Amino acid sequence: MRIGVVTFPGSLDDRDAQRAVRIAGAEPVALWHGAHDLDGVDAVILPGGFSYGDYLRSGAIAALSPIMTEVKDAAAKGMPILGICNGFQMLVEAHLLPGGLIRNDHQHFVRRDQKLTVENADTAWTHEFARGQEIIIPLKNAEGGYIASDETLDRIEGEGLVAFRYAGVNPNGSLRDIAGLTNPGGNVVGLMPHPEHATEPGFGPDTSVAMRSGVDGLPFFTSAIAAIARVAA
C-alpha cells in the first residue's frame, strides 16, 4: 500500500505523517503541493503545519494549490483522504467537508494531550475503533474552533458525519464539541488533533501503563491500509 503525504510551504508534520504510515505497514510517498500528480498512491494525507503562513485564513491558500485539484478528484472517486489539523482546515476550505475553522475562543495557541470520543467508526480511517470509544491524541492549534450554521450542524449530526468530539475539555470553543468530521462516503476524514504523534511507544501521550506509551493514533493508519486492501481484493 502506498499512502501519499502532501508537503505545502509551511508544513510541519509531513515527516511525522510519513513515519506513521511506515509504522502502520504501508509505504509513504512524498507529494508536492505544486504537482498535478498523485503518483499512483492509494490514499492521501494532508498534514499539519502552517501552510502559506496561515495567511488569509488557515488552509485557504493551500486549498487552491495545484495538487488539490487531484485530491478533490480522487476523493470523489472514493480514495481515502485524511486531513490533520492544517489539513482539516484545507478540507473545509476546499469544501470537501462542511463548515469552517476559526481562531480558538480563548485567543491562545493550545497544546495538550486531548481526550476524544469516537462518534463514527464506519469510515476508511476509523473502522478499527469502536463507536463511543475514548482515545487520547495530541492537539496543537491556534485556529481550531469549528463553526457552522445551525442548519449545517443539525444536518451533519443527523447524517452521522461527526467523526470525533472533544471529551472532558473543549480546548478551542468548537461548536457541539466537534473535533473531526467525515464526508457521507466515509473516505474523507478531517480532525484537529494529531494521530501521527501517537503511533509509537515511547513517543505518544502518557498513559497509566508508562510515560509516552500512548498509541491511540495508530488505528487511523492501519484502518486506511485495511480499507485499501478490501477494495483491492
- Positions annotated as catalytic residues are 85, 194, 196
Separation between Cα atoms, residue 178 and residue 15, nearest integer Å: 27
Q: What phi and psi, each to the nearest 5 degrees, are found at residue 113?
A: -80, 115
Report the residue count for the chain.
233
- Is there a contact between 171 and 193 (Cβ–Cβ < 8 Å)? no
Interacting residues of 200 by C-beta distance below 8 A, sequence separation 6+: 19, 23, 215, 218
Tell me if residue 68 falls in helix, strand or coil. helix
Closest CA to 181 of 219, 155, 217: 155
208 vs 203, 205, 211, 212, 214, CA distance in Å?
15, 10, 8, 10, 9
Separation between Cα atoms, residue 17 and residue 30, nearest integer Å: 10
